[in-house]
Every structure is written in structure tokens, then in C-alpha cells.
Amino acid sequence: MEKVVRLGQVRPDGDDVYWNEGRPADGGRQVIVRRAPDGTHTDVVPEGYSARTLVHEYGGLSYAVAGGVVWFANLSDQRVYRVEPGHEPVPITAEPPEPGAFRYADLALSPDGTALAAVRERHLGGEPVNDVVLLAADGSTEPRVIAHGHDFFAAPRISPDGRSIAWLSWDHPNMPWDGTELWVAPLAVGAARKVAGGPSESVTQPRWSPGGVLHFVSDRTGWWNLYADHAAVSGGVAIAPMEAELSGPDWVFGQSSYCFLPDGAIVAVWAERGLDHLGVISSGAVREIEQPFTTFGSMQPSGHGIVALTGSPTQGPTVVRISLPDGAVEELKRDRERMPEPGYLSVPRPVEFPTQGGRTAHALHYPPTNADYVGAADDRPPLMVISHGGPTSATDAVLNLGVQYWTSRGFAVVDVNYGGSTGYGREYRDRLRGEWGIVDVEDCVAAARWLAEQGLADARRLVIRGGSAGGYTTLAALTFHPGVFAAGASHYGVADLEALATDTHKFESRYLDGLVGPYPERRDLYVARSPIHHADRLSCPLILFQGLEDRVVPPAQAEQMVEALRAKGLPFSYLAFEGEQHGFRQAETIVAVAQAELSFYGRVLGFTPGDDLPPLPIENEDALP
């Protein structure tokens, strides 16, 4: 089995570059890796540790580094550890009442290296309590509370002179892409000042310039654009405004789509029509840097250039160093050692298609591609519709071998950025407000039908799949639009909106207020849009996958759907995995899921896969067509 890793959280430290490396072949363990100037790689996090925070359950930025010393949140106990080169990790936070009860994320080191700002989340019974704290970098003192009193906090960032600290906060029922507030206060004693934001303005990515000016991204114009704090201008001053998105939704901590060069110029990434662009902003003017990449993330300054995590339709996530102003690229780490031959890679094209209400929606269309096989001229391929998770998220044009798995086996794929997706402005994102289970489903159905009308898919062999929120869209499409799809696959998907509203973690506990309606006042909507209450309308085979330690979408959701399918006598398979949470991270699980899903579609659509697949039990198999 090829050793593929998941890359993220890129951080420079002098001439060294660090990143977090998720390793499916090592049980999903996340390891901080240091790359020295001579190209050697060293694991900073030793065996027995995993650098992953569970704040908000989704986590995100889990470490900080300076002078070769790394501080990281450890998965098993959620304590913060300090590790110096050649030494074992030493905890700097106290042992909590129970393992994982006190969690830390979004670590930011003070300029003098004596303290770490962090978001803390304490599980003490009832709803967890979140705040911003200052930790002694050597663990010599108790955490000092910097900010409290709001439901959520993120992005504590200390000014270059060490005198001020900025942070984000928001409250139920908002999510961070709905409305947040940016605050700044003296790091010593002093009153906090609100810089920007409110219940209907999403502010994100606060960051200090080398000269000590606080910058941030706001969507007040309908687009996430860049601003600078200015004492004489309430809410800050816009910098190079454009009808493009300079940020994405803060599902995890540590998003970074702009940074500062030593001379104060800003390197920024913006998204237009689903593709990322890289440029330099100086004196209010924007100069695009031509690059072969279509996605950029985790961007940080490094010398006179940047380090970042990039990707393209033919290249998976890759840590690179980009020199400026020439744009020369040095590749530091790929997510895999070997790349497929180009003849087996399907390159997507962005498409815009008609949908309900006279509107248009967006997607990426991948034609089936395999250098060893050419279909008959009059043969239309089966089509897989993918509904992404979130739902406040988006698919992008980076090489995804999960998609290529299907296109190399004869499927066309349409990865749908349905209404509610990010990257197309707030108006498009707000299409899903109060309409989850309607707009997303209609757009996925419309994408499938449009491609079939274009002669690019076989209308009799349409399937739909998705994970998490995308699993809900999948189940809703199969339930409320019977006859469109021949089969579906739900990966840890939501079957019962009411159960999700009453049995999920704090971060998303009021998410559905905006997507569906306030609960329990609008319980009628939750019942009306929940596939589990309308399983009698299901008419096609379904396969379900579930992690048994999932706290975001608990296993009961899948199990309820299994009972409904069993009662109706529909063909189905259900695979549940010990040790997996929300999203599969272990290599064995990832392989088993891909093989089972292919085998399932083969049985339903009537083809024999060329792969050597293990037997798949299908309940009610006799009811297959």
C-alpha cells in the first residue's frame, strides 16, 4: 500500500520549515515534521504522541514553533507539550480532571518567546466553556485568562511589540461565517476595544503587520476582503477591494490566506469562480503572480517569499516555497511519493448550470479517464454526483485521488458547489439560509440532469454520494427526489435533523438555526426535511459508512437509517468502523470504504469491477434489479 500523508499547518522557523503530517498508515497519527535547509526531514513528535487538537471537535492549528522549540496539543490528553530538539515532550499545562477535559488550540507565541496565546475549551459538565488564555511557555505558571464571556473564540494574535493582543469572538446561534467580532486589548491590564464585526458581518484572520498595524478580513461588502485597523476610521480601511473571496469558512483554526513581506507588502490569495489566485498587494495595487496551482493555503512569510500548501488538478497537496517577486517554486514535500501517469488523470472543468428559481449553480465536472480504455462513441458513462460536506464549505480543483478512483473506473464525476458553498460571495453562501435540504438537493439533482441532457452522462446510471452534511444531502436527494438516482452512498451522513440539533457538539449545536430554523419552535421543518421520517419514499439501494467514535454525527444516525432500510426491504450495506471519528483517517478504513463502495455500485448498476475486491454483504440483495 502506498504511504500517502495529509499535509497541513505549514510554519517557517528561520531557514527550517515545519508542517503537520497526518499518516493514515500509522493509525491516522499526526506528526509535526521539520525540514532543514539541506532537505532532511525529522519527526518532531515522537511515537506515542499525535499533534491534534479537539477544540470545536474539528480542531485545526495545533502547534507553534520558534528557535527549534515546538509546542503542540496532544490528541490523547489534549495537554500542551513543549519539545526541544533531541528531548522528549514535556507538558506545560496541568493534567485535567479527565483526559481531554481541557483543550487548547490556535497557539500563538509571544515575540519574546515567554508566553503562548491559545483558545481554551473546558469540558466540565454541561456545555463546554471557551476563552482565550495566556500560557507560560515553560509551564511555570497557571494560564491567565485574557478574554471570556462569549460562546466562542478564535485567532488570538499578539502584536510584534508584545504589548497588544487581538482575537475573534462570536455567540450562539451564529457560526463564524455568519457574524463575528474582532477585539484588541493591551496584553497587560486594560480595556478591550471592538475593531470590527457584528452579528451579520463575518470577520476572520486577524494579523499584525511588521509595523504593528492590525489587519483582518471582513465580508461586509458581500465578499471576504482585506482591511486595516485605523484609529480615525471606524471598522477599518479597505485594502484593494475586489469581487473575490480572500478567505474561506473557519471550520478549523489557523486559516491563512494572506501574510506580510518584510517591506510591508501583502501576499494574498483570492478565489474567483472556484479557483485560487496568488498576488502581491502594495500601495493599494494588486499584482498577480502566475502559478501552476489552483489552490493555496496555510500561507506564511519566509525570507523574501512565502511557504504554503498548494495543489492543482494534476498535483495533490504539496508544501512549497515561492520566491518573490519572480515566483520561482521550490517543492518541499508532496502528499505522496509517486504520482499517477497523466493518462489516468481526469482534469476538471468548472461548469455553471441552470437550477431552480431561474438561478445558476457551480460545479467541477470530471470526465471518465483511463489510458487503457476508450468507451464506445455512443456510450454515455455512469455519473457520480458528489455533495461536499459543511454544508458551508466548497470543493476545489486540487488533485483528489478519491475522485480519480472513480473516473479511472469509467465514472464521470460532478463535484457540486451547490448554493450555500463558499468562494462565490455572501449572497451565494446565504442561499442556504433556512433552505438546507432544499437548495443543496435541488442543485445536485439539477447538475445530474443537466449533464445527462448534455450527453455527458447516462440518465439511467446516476449515483450520488457525500460525507457528513454531504451525506445528508445525499440521503435527502434519494428520499425527496426518488427515481433520479440509481443508488447512493452516505458517509457518516445526517438522517435525522432533529437528532442532530439535540445531540451534537457545542460548535454546531445552533448551526441548524440558520440552515433550517430555530429549534424546537420550527420542529415541523426538522421533521419535514429529515430522510428518516420519510423512508417510505426511498426506492433505490444505499450503502452507509460510519465511524463509531463520531461525536459530530453520532452512529445512531446511520443506525436509524439501517433500520428503516431493513423495514422497507431495500438492498443496503452498512459498514461501521471502530476507532474512527468524523472523517476516516486510518489507511485500512479508507481502502475498505473505497472497495466496498465500488463493489456496491457494480452490483447495483450491473458491471463487474476490474479490481480484486473482497466480498461485500448486501442485505436484501434479492431485491436488486
CATH number, domain at 476? 3.40.50.1820
Per residue in 165-181, pLDDT tens? 999 999 999 999 999 99
DSSP string, 22-38: EEGGGTTEEEEEEE-TT
pLDDT of 491 reads: 96
pLDDT at 377 over 90: no
Residues whose CB falls within 8 Å of the CB of residue 501, separated by 6 or more in sequence, listed in order? 509, 512, 516, 519, 526
Q: pLDDT > 90: what percent of the chain?
A: 87
- In this prediction the pTM is 0.91
Per residue in 399-431, pLDDT tens? 998 999 999 999 999 999 999 999 999 999 999
**Domain-embedded: residue 41:** no
Residue 2's pLDDT band, with cuts at 50, 70 and 90, is low
**Domain-embedded: residue 154:** no
**Domain-embedded: residue 399:** yes
pLDDT of 1 reads: 44
DSSP string, 136-149: ETTS-S--EEEE-S
Strand partners, 315: 312
What is the Cα–Cα distance from 55 to 57, expressed in whole angstroms? 5
Residue 332's pLDDT band, with cuts at 50, 70 and 90, is very high
Instruction: Please state whether beta strands 487-491 and 542-547 pair in parallel, antiparallel, or not at all (unpaired).
Output: parallel
Per residue in 100-148, pLDDT tens? 999 999 999 999 999 999 999 999 999 999 999 999 999 999 999 999 9
**Domain-embedded: residue 89:** no
User: And the C-alpha cell for 499?
Assistant: 437528532
Per residue in 384-406, pLDDT tens? 999 999 999 999 999 998 999 99
Per residue in 81-109, pLDDT tens? 999 999 999 999 999 999 999 999 999 99
**Domain-embedded: residue 410:** yes
User: And the C-alpha cell for 116?
Assistant: 503562548
The CA dihedral of 494, 500, 501, 503, to the nearest 10 degrees, is -170
Residue 324's pLDDT band, with cuts at 50, 70 and 90, is very high
Taking the alpha carbons of 453, 457, 462, 467 in that order, is the dihedral positive or negative?
Answer: negative
Q: 276 and 249 in contact (C-beta within 8 Å)?
A: no
Pick from 259, 134, 238, 255: nearest CA to 189: 134
Higher pLDDT, residue 303 or 257: 257
**Domain-embedded: residue 547:** yes
pLDDT of 553 reads: 85
Q: What is the mean pLDDT of residues 244-256?
A: 96
**531 lies in which domain range?**
342-623
What is the Cα–Cα distance from 152 to 144, expressed in whole angstroms? 17
Helix (H) or strand (E) segment spanning residue 535: none
Question: Coil, strand, or helix at residue 3?
Answer: coil
Residue 74's pLDDT band, with cuts at 50, 70 and 90, is very high
Angle at 349 between CA 295 and CA 296, to 5 degrees: 0
Instruction: Work out the angle between the directed axes of helices 469-480 and 439-453 (0-180°, nearest 10).
Output: 70
pLDDT of 378 reads: 75
Indicate the residue type of 8: G
CA atoms within 13 A on the CB side of 363: 28
User: And the C-alpha cell for 375?
Assistant: 468507451
**Domain-embedded: residue 545:** yes
Q: How far apart are the first and last CA of the chain?
A: 35
In the sheet with 225-230, reading across from the earlier edge strand, the strands are 203-208, 214-218, 225-230, 233-239
**Domain-embedded: residue 504:** yes
Helical ranges in 430-531 per DSSP H: 439-453, 469-480, 497-502, 511-515, 523-528
Per residue in 425-464, pLDDT tens? 999 999 999 999 999 999 999 999 999 999 999 999 999 9
Q: 155 and 166 in contact (C-beta within 8 Å)?
A: yes
Average pLDDT, the chain: 94
Per residue in 513-540, pLDDT tens? 999 999 999 999 999 999 999 999 999 9
Pick from 135, 131, 178: nearest CA to 153: 131
pLDDT of 550 reads: 87
- The count of domains in the chain is 1
Strand partners, 331: 320
